[in-house]
Amino acid sequence: MQLAGKTIVLTGGTDGIGRELALQLRAKDAHLILTGRTASRVAEMQSLGFEVITADLSQPEGVEAVLKGLGKRPIDILINNAGAGSDHDFREAQPDLADNDRCIFLNLNAPIHLITRLMAGLKSRPEAMIVNVTSGLAIAPRAGGPVYCATKAALRSYTQAIRAQLAGTSVHLLEALPPVVETKLTAGRGSRKMAPAECARQIVVGMEKNAQEANVGMVKLLQAVHSISPALARKIMIRF
């Protein structure tokens, strides 16, 4: 896809991978509309000239805020990047179900709601794209993050299913599967992490190539292992 001139809605565009995507896509001459929920990071991106809709997508009200901010503007690309983890480890403490519910809504429900509400407009464009950012953990889960892994696996399954539904339309579906990236979400989880800028670069390449999947960094190896032995991939990843 030619990105120049495209209007892109990028959720979670004020930090981490999203921030780098915003910068790199703007460098491709795309017009970005970001969403973010932390006032200081929203203000920082606005100071760099980005339009930002303040919205907490872990709640239904956040989805409505995004849709209200967009109004009737035509959208060419929707990138569902916003995401968060949630503690759910019985070996450490009783899980906080309210926090788990926020994680589930942010990682899964919000993308489904935005896709559904924006689909008619996307279909009306001569060329459109939906990018769902899942995770290598959508392929095989780790024991310490069952709720996060479940949401990403569910979004992966949803992406594959609606890709089939949209065959023959102008809307292309890309799933981006990052590895462990150096962000606030992964703080304290080891030292071998990908830089957000490189992760974003590989996702942008996938967009330009109209790829169905952008397997980023070490996820390429995980996919290869999974294609040979799903059981082995699960055995490797469950320990992390």
Catalytic positions: 148
Q: Which two tokens stand for residue 219?
A: 């996820």
Side chain identity, residue 152: K
| Helix, strand, coil shares, percent, the chain, to 5 | 50, 15, 35
Residue indicated by tokens 């279909």: 123
User: What would the 3-class secondary structure string for 172-215 be?
Assistant: EEEEEECCCECCHHHCCCCCCCECHHHHHHHHHHHHHCCCCEEE
Is-contact 22 79, C-beta < 8 A? Answer: no
Place of tokens 């589930």: 104
CA dist., res. 62 & res. 46, Å (int): 19
